[in-house]
Amino acid sequence: MHTSLQKSSLPSGVTIEPRRMDFQAVTNKPRYWHPVAAFTHILTAASLFFPEGERFFVRSVQNYEHDISDPQLRKDMAGFMQQEVIHGEEHERFNYDIADQGYPYLYGIERFLVKGVFANIRRFTSRQVQLALTVCLEHVTATLAGALLKYPQLMDDAEPQYREIWNWHAVEESEHKAVAYDVYDAVGGSYWIRVTTLVLSSLFFLGLVLFVTGRMLHTDAKLFNREMVRETKEYVSERMWIFKNVGKDFIQFFKRDFHPWQIDNRDDIEAWKKQQVAYAEQHQG
């Protein structure tokens, strides 16, 4: 049973390590970086919200800097903020890279819609609600991140460099998945605000992501196109068991005694780290 710790819950073996990856620009870009058009655009649309969203997360945790005394939790907060800043930079590059492949309006959507949404949330909500929103969106990203690491078949045949960006981000999202939660917990954040915010924010952001996805499919003349629907259905039905598991992880959040590390994916983080070491050794030698 999880009770308020007022301190860091970082499990043994996990460090919140900000990594500068400096992904190189992808030359030879495929038409769709993921083999399924709708899935490509859903991920790109989500990514469009990352840089501004991550800046929002950083600020909402920073707002509580003076309320936290546990030295390890303070260290986690610093690691969390450093990681999110780097994620924002990499995804900004990723987003512009995709925008330049025939979706120039993504710049405008980012500048006005995405920035407008977060600016208004900051303006009209309390710091507790902003932190609750961060806890919720971190749960959404941690669930997706956990899925990408646990089920590599979600990214089968995706462009390798882009897949790497998503995997690296997924690892760091997993490492810091409990930081905002622990801060919320330590300052006595309410259960009802947390779960209400999850329902409202996931519906709201899902709507926005689907809107952007639809806009991009429209550009490709694939919106409601029979071939696109068939390909998406096939992809989803082959992986239905994965989506069911992901859904189960997602709804854990509604438990009163939920804690992000109850979904323990340390092995998947370790596997990625080992892969990185092996890759580095191979390219040195």
Interaction site with Fe ion (CB under 5 A) = 84, 87, 173
CA atoms of 40 and 217, how far apart (whole Å): 10
173 versus 268: smaller Cβ distance to Fe ion: 173
Position of minimal CB gap to Fe ion: 87
| Cβ at position 136, least distance to Fe ion in Å | 12
Short-list 154, 151, 118, CA closest to 43: 154
| Cβ at position 244, least distance to Fe ion in Å | 24
| Cβ at position 54, least distance to Fe ion in Å | 5
36 versus 142: smaller Cβ distance to Fe ion: 142
177 versus 222: smaller Cβ distance to Fe ion: 177
| Cβ at position 132, least distance to Fe ion in Å | 15
52 versus 173: smaller Cβ distance to Fe ion: 173
23 versus 32: smaller Cβ distance to Fe ion: 23
| Cβ at position 39, least distance to Fe ion in Å | 20
